[in-house]
Amino acid sequence: MPQGPRAARRPRAQDQHPRPKRRPSTEVLRIESLAAGGAGVAHLADHAAVFVPGTAPGEEIEAEVDRNTRPARGKLLRVIAPSPERVEATCCGGGCDWMHLSVRAQEAAHAEIVRSAVAHAIGAEPPPVRVHAAPEPLAYRTRARLYARGERGRVRVGYRAVGSHALAPVSSCAVLAPSLAAALGELPEVLAGSSGEGDVQVALGAGGRLVVDVTWRGELAPSAWAAIDRRITEGAWAGARVRMEGAKTPAVFGDPRPVLEGADGAPLVVAAGSFAQSSDRGAALLARRVAELARVEVDAPREGADVPANGHVLELFAGSGTLSILLARGAASLVAVESDEAAARSARENLSARDLAGKVVVADADAHPIPPRAEVVVLDPPRAGAEGATAAIAASRVHRIVYVACDPATLARDLGVLVRANYALTHLETVELFPQTSHVETVARLVRRRGAR
Ligand SMILES: C[S@@+](CC[C@H](N)C(=O)[O-])C[C@H]1O[C@@H](n2cnc3c(N)ncnc32)[C@H](O)[C@@H]1O
């Protein structure tokens, strides 16, 4: 009888003699830097690294250190000598893991995280990281993913606490735009009587009114369905979409699509439940910079030049077209690839509302061939990066690449492949799209080296 891999596995030494658990110890530590993920990094007397959330570089702290994980984890007990970059945190306990840091320190730490990841991956020092400051460091979120939980008829709404599935209930949030803040007070009332838990995305839709996208696991009270319906029919909300766990299709009320202000100042529709950056102004800043870097002229600017031609552009992971609406301008052609059908429909709608030509293809961007005439590839993949697309670009004759990334580690991995395939990294820039958090958006530009295949 064939044996499965489990049966075939030889017992390992640690199975027979599991290491005894070590007791946490209290240590005085000096924080050296901030790691991707947000924690401060220090070293113990035996040089083992320890990660302590809620700390700032340069400060002396006391922490309870658990050496049973690798790297060791520390829990901040007290700050002995604070960093000058430490500020009073006003965080609600939700996702803002860097609210105790000055904006200047956040920017510097983001830039260093990106620089060191890329330097390690390409085996050389990258160009100096240019930092694009956030348009608004607070009250910037024009879209938010909330978390709701119903128990004994009462529904509490907040965020998932950092690093856990626990609910951090919130009545006010310093990073939420005032236009969305009202939702925090309204949702517990709308969802009252429901049991279970759900994710609730809130944004602004048509006419600047609220749109709500609910994914619920459990029972949604009949009064909740009625309250949602009433808000749409009375015009208080533009739309809502409710997806019950296990249901094939969501219930749709009104028009649940978020509408943001595009980088060209005109409205841009986003498919309900599909990707959109967390702030309109941040998304516009990013899109404008990506479009600039995609142009031929970045290397040799011409005085007084009009919008220069982009050549034939291939955009991978295009979403609802936040970048496409700028890339299509001045391009000889634009092909945008996106796997989410609803997002692709929105991208088509956004291009045609502007009379822009562009072909939007529903396909796997990571397995999409690079058309031989493509001169520029712009890609904006999810956190996992784009291993397949990177390999295809590396084997192509594309001249310029603009890579937008929300994860420095996978960006660095993919840039390593492109640099080894004879592309030169000309620009490395961070865009502060998520102030008060350790998340960072990066834009990298590469050009094919002269004489390369
Ligand atoms: C980070 S978002 C960028 C979207 C767009 N550039 C924007 O700024 O709104 C990544 C997009 O890639 C899409 N996506 C994820 N995996 C994909 C794949 N294998 N092929 C094509 N699109 C994919 C997602 O649906 C999402 O719209």
What would the pLDDT profile of 111-154 be if each residue is shown by its tens digit? Answer: 999 999 999 999 999 999 999 999 999 999 999 999 999 988 89
**CA-proximal residue: ligand 1, atom 14 (nearest):** 317
Please check whether residues 119 and 78 belong to one and the same domain: no
120 falls within a domain: yes
Active site annotation includes 173: no
CA of 5 to the centre of ligand 1 (A): 36
On the question of pLDDT at 165 being above 80, the answer is no
Report whether 138 contacts 175 (CB < 8 A). Answer: yes
Q: d(Cα 408, Cα 416) in Å, to the nearest integer?
A: 12
The tally of domains found in the chain comes to 3
On the question of pLDDT at 43 being above 70, the answer is yes
Sheet holding 130-132, edge to edge: 130-132, 423-431, 441-448, 400-405, 376-379, 311-316, 331-338, 359-362
- Kindly write down the DSSP assignment for every residue of 217-236, as one continuous string: EEE--HHHHHHHHHHHHTTS
Ligand 1 pocket list (CB less than 6 A): 274-277, 317-320, 322-323, 337-340, 343, 364-366, 380-382
**CA-proximal residue: ligand 1, atom 13 (nearest):** 317
Residue 69 DSSP symbol? S
Q: Which atom of ligand 1 is nearest to the CA of 283?
A: 8
pLDDT (tens digit per residue) in 315-372: 999 999 999 999 999 899 999 999 999 999 999 999 999 999 999 999 999 999 999 9
Which three-class secondary structure state does DSSP give residue 287?
Answer: helix
Q: Which residue has the tokens 């600039």?
A: 292
pLDDT of 92: 67
Sort 379 into a burial class: Cβ within 10 Å, 0-12 / 13-18 / 19+.
buried
pLDDT of 301: 47
- Considering 142-156, 253-267, 307-321, the range whose residues carry the highest mean pLDDT is 253-267
CATH number of 73's domain: 2.40.50.140
- Tokens read off for 335: 């092909």
31 falls within a domain: yes
CA of 429 to the centre of ligand 1 (A): 20
CA of 382 to the centre of ligand 1 (A): 6
CATH number of 189's domain: 2.40.50.1070
pLDDT of 9: 54
Average pLDDT of span 204-214: 95
Report whether 271 contacts 213 (CB < 8 A). Answer: no
Residue 181 DSSP symbol? H
**Complex-level ipTM:** 0.99
Please check whether residues 36 and 148 belong to one and the same domain: no
Please check whether residues 237 and 290 belong to one and the same domain: no
10 falls within a domain: no
**CA-proximal residue: ligand 1, atom 8 (nearest):** 322
pLDDT of 440: 97
Report whether 32 contacts 57 (CB < 8 A). Answer: yes
Q: What is the best residue among 317, 377, 407 to mutate for testing ligand 1's pocket, by most ligand atoms within 8 Å of CB?
A: 317
CA 28 to chain centroid, in Å, comes to 34
- Tokens read off for 261: 């202000």
CA distances 99 to 65, 211, 406, 437, Å, are 23, 28, 19, 7
97 falls within a domain: no
Sort 110 into a burial class: Cβ within 10 Å, 0-12 / 13-18 / 19+.
buried
Of the candidates 91, 92, 173, 406, the residue annotated as catalytic is: 406
CA of 445 to the centre of ligand 1 (A): 19
CATH number of 355's domain: 3.40.50.150
33 falls within a domain: yes
The binding site for S-adenosyl-L-methionine consists of 277, 317, 338, 380
429 falls within a domain: yes
- Kindly write down the DSSP assignment for every residue of 429-441, as one continuous string: EEE-SSTTSS--E
Please check whether residues 418 and 344 belong to one and the same domain: yes
Q: d(Cα 183, Cα 146) in Å, to the nearest integer?
A: 10
CA of 164 to the centre of ligand 1 (A): 26
344 falls within a domain: yes
- Tokens read off for 135: 């348009």
267 falls within a domain: no
Q: Strands, DSSP E only, in 171-264? A: 195-204, 210-219, 237-244, 251-254, 259-261
Please check whether residues 208 and 330 belong to one and the same domain: no
Which three-class secondary structure state does DSSP give residue 426?
Answer: strand
Average pLDDT of span 177-204: 92
Please check whether residues 180 and 329 belong to one and the same domain: no
Task: Give me the count of residues in the chain.
Answer: 453
- Tokens read off for 312: 């034939």
Please check whether residues 30 and 175 belong to one and the same domain: no
Which three-class secondary structure state does DSSP give residue 447?
Answer: strand
Please check whether residues 356 and 434 belong to one and the same domain: yes
Average pLDDT of span 49-75: 96
Please check whether residues 58 and 119 belong to one and the same domain: no
pLDDT (tens digit per residue) in 267-304: 999 999 899 999 999 999 999 999 999 986 555 544 44
Q: d(Cα 179, Cα 261) in Å, to the nearest integer?
A: 14
Report whether 203 contacts 180 (CB < 8 A). Answer: yes
Please check whether residues 129 and 228 belong to one and the same domain: no
Please check whether residues 35 and 152 belong to one and the same domain: no
Q: Which atom of ligand 1 is nearest to the CA of 270?
A: 9
β-bridge pairing 143-151 and 154-160: antiparallel
Report whether 51 contacts 43 (CB < 8 A). Answer: no
Q: Which atom of ligand 1 is nearest to the CA of 343?
A: 27
Please give the share of the chain, as a percent, with pLDDT higher than 90. 81
Domain containing 53: what range? 24-86
**CA-proximal residue: ligand 1, atom 12 (nearest):** 317
pLDDT of 305: 45
Which three-class secondary structure state does DSSP give residue 365?
Answer: helix
Report whether 365 contacts 379 (CB < 8 A). Answer: yes
Report whether 409 contacts 114 (CB < 8 A). Answer: no
Please check whether residues 190 and 82 belong to one and the same domain: no
